[in-house]
Structure 1
Amino acid sequence: MKYRLFLFLLLCATAVKAQTFKYPVLNPQGKTIKSLAPAQWKAVDSIYGDLNNDKIEDLAVIYEFYAAVKENRAYGDNTTELITEIQKPRILAIYFKSGRNYRLSTQNNNFILRSEEGGLMGDPLRPLKIDSNRLTLSFEGGGNWRWKLSYTFRHQNNDWQLTKANNFAYHNSSGEMNDKQYDFLNKKRVVISGTIENKNANNEKIEQPLSVKALRTFASFKKPWTWEIGPDEYL
């Protein structure tokens, strides 16, 4: 009996990998995370907080598929460098509270890093945060050189726009670090370089103007590491 069950599960997993994977269309509304989650998907992180400044707690959820499938993931830029990987897909869903229901504001199938994209540190996903009506997505990974990325989105002009970001890299042994802080609303970039052990006063800090024609959105920013802000500078 156990052997038959094992064989059945193995065949199911093989079938998932073999077929063309299609993302579900999320329920437009529901009362709970359980009712909103599509079949065979589970919530791996969630947070409640006001995201549209109406003093009512909204909801952001990251769903993960139950099995690993083939995915074409962008590297280097949004279109040309695609790498096929076998991993569990993830979905970011943001809901506004309306009456008794949470109503879907946006569904994004690409931006959230998968569990295998963190290098030697394992799953790169870090907890969601909501502060001052803004949603922050955070990731961490690497090996000897480690990185921390955070992206803050705000709902404005009927879209989710990237307002701030942080790209922090450091060497695990030497403590050498480079901290790039981006403020897209004020078009300013702060670069701090030195070592982790030093206080900020002992590290070099440079403020630079940031040339951005338009604020990026989930539609125009495929996933982390795919926006080449400048020569050899990716976010």
Structure 2
Amino acid sequence: MKWLLCFCCISLVLFSGFSKVTQSVLVEIYGDLDRDKIDEKITVVELNEEGNDGKIRVLNIFKKKNNQWKLWHSSNTAILGSEGGGMMGDPFFDKSIGILNGVITIDHNGGSSWKWSTVHKYRLKNNEFELIGYSTHYGKLCEYWAEFDYNLSTGKINYKKEYETCDEKTEDSTISKVEDEVFYKKLKKLPNLKNINKVQIKITTPKYKEELIF
């Protein structure tokens, strides 16, 4: 009887341990991230663990050493949770992540009648994947559409906002007003893959006082 109880306890511990690390691979891509002409591997895995915005996703970057993949960098905030898109649900539903010229690009989108999308671009520098580009587009039909495009390397920010009016009968939209602004803002320290979305950055446009928050 004691042996049976012991076996059951061990089985329960093992089952609990495995349940905590249960995960599914959403994405697996390859590309050269450090310009050594050897591809690295990126995976995005979804954990069997709930966070504030649904199931937690982890982005892992692997480097091949001695013909084996070794974990190089990891982030549990770069990919939004499974319910982080609001009414639209999964903001990463199209699994849009890519590598081009050593740059990692990640797309998210969400909303309901009010919609939003973001693009983050990361490049290896100082042994961290620093955010070098960020763009966002958001708004609502018959209200306005706004966009920011931020080159964090140069500090250049493009902002544009188009206000719309719609015909109630035909539902045709007309642009009634446009705000367009270009300015520069250099950050002392760039966000990176590991701390993105952990600390909020807010920049206000000098002319129209519109806020860029990321």
TM superposition score category, shorter chain reference: 0.7 to 0.9
Identity %: 23
1:115 and 1:189, CA in 2 relative to 1: closer, same or farther beyond 3 A? same
Alpha-carbon distance in structure 2 between the residues aligned to 1:103 and 1:157:
19
Alpha-carbon distance in structure 1 between the residues aligned to 2:212 and 2:33:
30
Map 1:216-235 → 2, pairs under 5 A: 216-223=191-198, 226-230=199-203, 232-235=211-214
1:45 and 1:163, CA in 2 relative to 1: closer, same or farther beyond 3 A? same
Find out whether 1:140 has 2:109 as its counterpart.
yes
Q: In the alignment, is the contact (CA less than 8 A) between 1:154 and 1:163 conserved in 2?
A: yes
**Partner of 1:100 in structure 2?**
67
1:198 and 1:60, CA in 2 relative to 1: closer, same or farther beyond 3 A? farther
> How many residues were matched structurally?
183
Q: How far off is 1:129 after superposition?
A: 1.1
Q: Gapped runs of 5+ residues in structure 1? A: 1-11, 23-38, 72-84
Q: In the alignment, is the contact (CA less than 8 A) between 1:52 and 1:96 conserved in 2?
A: no
Alpha-carbon distance in structure 2 between the residues aligned to 1:122 and 1:54:
38
Given candidates 165, 172, 185, the residue that maps to 2:134 is 165
**Partner of 2:169 in structure 1?**
none
**Partner of 1:186 in structure 2?**
154
1:97 and 1:192, CA in 2 relative to 1: closer, same or farther beyond 3 A? farther
Structure possessing the higher radius of gyration over alpha carbons: 2
**Alpha-carbon deviations, 1:25-53, whole Å to 9, x = none?**
xxxxxxxxxxxxxx521111222111111
Q: In the alignment, is the contact (CA less than 8 A) between 2:154 and 2:186 conserved in 1?
A: no
Alpha-carbon distance in structure 2 between the residues aligned to 1:189 and 1:216:
16
Q: How far off is 1:230 after superposition?
A: 2.3
Give the residue type in structure 2 aligned to 1:103: K
Alpha-carbon distance in structure 2 between the residues aligned to 1:87 and 1:45:
18
Give the residue type in structure 2 aligned to 1:97: K
SS of the counterpart of 1:120?
Answer: helix
Alpha-carbon distance in structure 1 between the residues aligned to 2:194 and 2:31:
23
Q: Gapped runs of 5+ residues in structure 2? A: 1-11, 165-172, 205-210
